[in-house]
Structure 1
């Protein structure tokens, strides 16, 4: 299929619409409403000093992420703030992804709450893509108790746009012969890569909708946003996106982050040790995921967000790749110590840690303990086994006891 005119573009890259983009609606907030019936139908924000997620009832009042909590409360006086429960979100994500993988073997996870699924070749066995998507949405609602929106198209870009347009809790299929009719009336903000800055440049040039951008010569568009961005946006405006769903791609890093709020005085200044405790909890989680995936890494990266919404990133590369909790924890604490003056001056509201620089293939032999050194690898392995058998909250390190309000330590069964 071709579009005639001076900007002729080939827009058919697949024979049919068989790529699905599945996206959980207001994920964190939906989990809280699922687990607490008293929150259903009410405006809910996950977070405190900063809004991490907002229910659709809150979004209707103008609450967005990452909005300061005071501004959100001013916009929505009835807003209910809920502390984040990362373990609950992780469990819900895992359950949803099991349904994804039970639907098709071709699943590409994008984040904890969204994924691309390729359902080509399943029509004869299961039914057309719309029927597959309907069944998937019913299973997520029935088995996990969460709303999910699904877009279907023949490209990843269009499928993602379709899922966004279908929200909340919707399903939208874009047939191949209606792609441009669907895409061109949409605002330019729907295009991948158009954030606030790029949107402002386009608006200043009189371009507010995708169709206007598509009809603008690429050379003229480049004067507004630069040649690279112009080429990218022009292709998307003509529904060109040849990328396929990738299932074998290995992650380049494994990380986690945690909001710690604005402190008791709402100035980002927390009791001594709060940032360290949060960081060590994250390291414990990340290294456990690394060992489960058979990964070892050399580079540890610390990320902080301050009360003024500024950010800081620090990283260090270790001598040898490892998934050892204590070794990575020590490195992360050293990085945190290097930014203590910034924390004291600006306050901190979010802590994150990631491990990267994985070996290219096969992994490395872990370091062996020498002399009277404790066998850290044996300790990590033992903890992993207990958690696999009795659940992630069944065992924790002593440094976390009594310090993490979201951590519950149940007794082990006899």
Structure 2
């Protein structure tokens, strides 16, 4: 039986949730942002706005664009409901983020993967109020590329015949997981599309890229790339972070850090009953040149008391010496490593 995978991805997830809940925002250019754009609507993307863009730049260049803030609880509730729908269609669901996942529907599609994708999208629209694009393919790579082509709010099915025609022509810089640095090395070696890999083996490619990447490229060229949906195990840690315009102002950085602690605690409490109690804490600081500093430390007592965690996080933040560093801070985050379930 041929493997059938779906890649389901909610379109402009955060912005779509805001447009769902406020009809006046529908069809308008909006961004979900707090100093830095987290998610632009498709109407905003059409103007050239993208995630990571400073909010002040958006306001200056596009003063009519509407700005909404984060609503973590609402966004997470929408994610939970979305995944409940995914698991209704198959128990084999591998999350990619809070709004996307691979689904193995082999044998469940009754020979009609397009019809199953239509039903999944209709359920997401009717029950959660969100548009979901779906790609169908034989491997994760093909399913994910198909969902990209399906956006916004569509379906693309890559059957065996289409894959045979498309796969050799895929640009290497479009392949999922190949970043700019890897592509530069491939480009310098005269490799641009998948068909350029034909005739090369792992040893040939290991002279250009890492062993793991060489193995993956060979499998992509041969059409034997990953088609296994892996079920998530218990969460090993929970984190929360937020980006903002570069600053060294203590009150600003501490306020964002405290908010991240609160959100991380809420997420831990939502995982298990009773909750697993962290005994360690991590604080991450990112500077305006992209450099990051990570500080780790134990908690005096394992637990989820927000006040104790804020104090511990503040101590780790001081250890980064961000105030005297000279660079501006653009992101802070916290992580709570969790013990294995009992």
**TM-score bracket for this pair, using the shorter chain length:** 0.7 to 0.9
The answer to whether the 8 Å contact 2:261/2:309 transfers is: no
2:147 equivalent to 1:147: no
> Aligned with 1:89: secondary structure?
helix
Give the CA deviation at 1:119. 1.6
The answer to whether the 8 Å contact 1:304/1:352 transfers is: yes
> Aligned with 1:122: secondary structure?
coil
The C-alpha deviation readout for 1:138-159, integer Å capped at 9, x for no partner, is 1111222211111112222221
Query: Cα–Cα, structure 1 residues 138 and 130, in superposed 2: closer, same or farther, change >3 Å?
Result: same
Give the CA deviation at 1:276. 4.6
Give the CA deviation at 1:52. 1.3
Partner of residue 299 from structure 1, selected from 243, 263, 280: 280
Query: Cα–Cα, structure 1 residues 255 and 293, in superposed 2: closer, same or farther, change >3 Å?
Result: farther
* 1:101-120 correspondence to structure 2 within 5 Å: 101-120=87-106
The answer to whether the 8 Å contact 2:268/2:275 transfers is: no
TM-score of the pair, normalised by structure 1? 0.72
The C-alpha deviation readout for 1:347-398, integer Å capped at 9, x for no partner, is 4343322222523x52xxxxxxxxxxxxxxxxxxxxxxxxxxxxxxxxxxxx
Comparing 269-278 with 189-198, which one deviates more in the overlay? 269-278
* 1:36-185 correspondence to structure 2 within 5 Å: 36-72=22-58, 76=62, 78-124=64-110, 128-185=112-169
> Aligned with 2:336: secondary structure?
strand
CA distance in 1, matches of 2:63, 2:169: 35
The C-alpha deviation readout for 1:193-235, integer Å capped at 9, x for no partner, is 2111112222233333233234555444333324432222221
Give the CA deviation at 1:24. 0.8
> Aligned with 1:184: secondary structure?
helix
> Aligned with 1:302: secondary structure?
strand
Select the structure of larger CA radius of gyration.
1
The C-alpha deviation readout for 1:238-266, integer Å capped at 9, x for no partner, is 3323452222522221222234x33xxx7
CA distance in 1, matches of 2:250, 2:19: 29
The answer to whether the 8 Å contact 2:94/2:229 transfers is: yes
Query: What RMSD over aligned residues (CA atoms) do the two structures have, in Å?
Result: 2.9
The C-alpha deviation readout for 1:47-104, integer Å capped at 9, x for no partner, is 1432211222222333222233345556656433322222221121111111112222
Aligned to 1:224: 208
CA distance in 1, matches of 2:6, 2:292: 34
Report how many residues are paired: 341
CA distance in 1, matches of 2:118, 2:282: 41
* 1:315-330 correspondence to structure 2 within 5 Å: 315-318=296-299, 322-330=303-311
2:218 equivalent to 1:234: yes
Aligned to 1:278: 259
CA distance in 2, matches of 1:69, 1:343: 26
> Aligned with 2:283: secondary structure?
strand
Give the CA deviation at 1:284. 3.0
Consecutive unaligned residues of structure 1, counting only runs of 5 or more, are 1-14, 363-414
The C-alpha deviation readout for 1:110-139, integer Å capped at 9, x for no partner, is 210111112223245xx6322111111011
The answer to whether the 8 Å contact 1:191/1:233 transfers is: no
Query: Cα–Cα, structure 1 residues 197 and 70, in superposed 2: closer, same or farther, change >3 Å?
Result: farther
Aligned to 2:249: 269
Tell me: higher relative CO, structure 1 or 2? Use CA pairs within 8 A at least 6 residues apart.
2
TM-score of the pair, normalised by structure 2? 0.86
Query: Cα–Cα, structure 1 residues 289 and 311, in superposed 2: closer, same or farther, change >3 Å?
Result: farther
Query: Cα–Cα, structure 1 residues 310 and 49, in superposed 2: closer, same or farther, change >3 Å?
Result: farther
The answer to whether the 8 Å contact 1:49/1:349 transfers is: no
> Aligned with 1:108: secondary structure?
strand
2:300 equivalent to 1:314: no
